[in-house]
Amino acid sequence: MVAGKIAPAAYCVTDKISRASVALGIDCGIVLSTLLGHKMQPNEIGRSYDTIANVWQEPHIQSNGIAQFERAIKFTKIRNHALDIGCGSSGRFFDFLLKHGFQVEGIDISEKMVALARQRHPNVPLHQADICTWNLPREYDFISAWDSTWHLPLEKQELVLRKICEGLTQNGVFIFTTGGLDEPGEKSDSCMGPPMYYSVLGIPKTLELLTRFGCICRHLEYDQYPEQHLYVIAQRIQQ
């Protein structure tokens, strides 16, 4: 759900102005979650994204994350089914995965994002749903969650990570982004205009859970350093 120069391309916990705020002309800094009065739930995040869904169809968005997907796909052994979590409206990851022979599905909490995605990819099965409660209909050889699952409530992060890992086929690959922090953390801001909430488990906990849930980390990188934007490539191993 979050991508490109207009989105919060890094998970920051400092008071520096993010590239997102610069792009939008907003000196937002960091706004603590207490400013919003409560922790945003996925349906509220979806409504926030409804108001800016068109942004992700702009041309400069289309290359965001593709180089990282190129790295991830090299670890795949079978290329049948793929799922993009927080697929948004751009369809760039659909195009990438279809080009590499996958049958693709997408899920997003934003009704407007899904509607726009359907216009671009009418033949791709799309689900407007909350990944916290949605049951994966099958196992997948490739799952992506690019700048999306960091919007989940902190207490739901472990549950969803387990669901995703267990939803991979043997040797299936999972690429996702998170904040490159040492400890669990959460924050809220309005850098993109509407209010947003973010949470991360921290690197040590994330790696511990990947192992517990039958996966191994194949690659971990701060791809926008010194910003705290981290992407991880994990693979389901033989049990």
Residue 58 is predicted with a pLDDT of 86
Helices 157-166 and 203-212 cross at an angle (nearest 10°) of 40
The 8 Å CB, 24+ separation contacts for 28-33 are 28/189, 28/190, 28/191, 29/189, 30/187, 30/189, 31/187, 31/188, 31/189, 31/190, 32/187, 32/188, 33/186, 33/187, 33/188, 33/197
- Report the chain's mean pLDDT, rounded to a whole number: 86
Q: Per-residue pLDDT tens for 153-205?
A: 999 999 999 999 999 999 999 999 999 999 999 999 998 899 999 999 999 99
Residue 38 is predicted with a pLDDT of 65
- The sign of the dihedral angle between the CA atoms of 99, 103, 108, 111 is positive
> CB–CB of 29/17 below 8 Å?
yes
Q: What distance in Å separates the CA atoms of residue 207 and residue 198, rounded to the nearest whole number?
A: 19
Q: What distance in Å separates the CA atoms of residue 86 and residue 65, rounded to the nearest whole number?
A: 13
Give the end-to-end CA distance of the chain in Å, rounded to a whole number: 32
- Indicate the pTM of the whole model: 0.86
Residue 45 is predicted with a pLDDT of 96
Amino acid letter, residue 119? Q
The lowest-confidence range among 14-23, 60-69, 78-87, 228-237 is 14-23
Domain covering 19-236, topology: Rossmann fold (3.40.50)
My answer on whether omega of the bond before 226 falls inside 30° of 0, hence cis, is yes
Q: Per-residue pLDDT tens for 55-85?
A: 888 888 888 999 999 999 999 999 999 999 9
Q: What distance in Å separates the CA atoms of residue 106 and residue 230, rounded to the nearest whole number?
A: 22
For the cut 80, the answer to whether the pLDDT of residue 34 exceeds it is: no
Element (H, E) at 139: none
The three-state DSSP-derived secondary structure of 140-165 is EEEEEECCCHHHCCHHHHHHHHHHHH
Q: Per-residue pLDDT tens for 80-95?
A: 999 999 999 999 999 9
What is the domain partition of the chain in residue ranges? Answer: 19-236
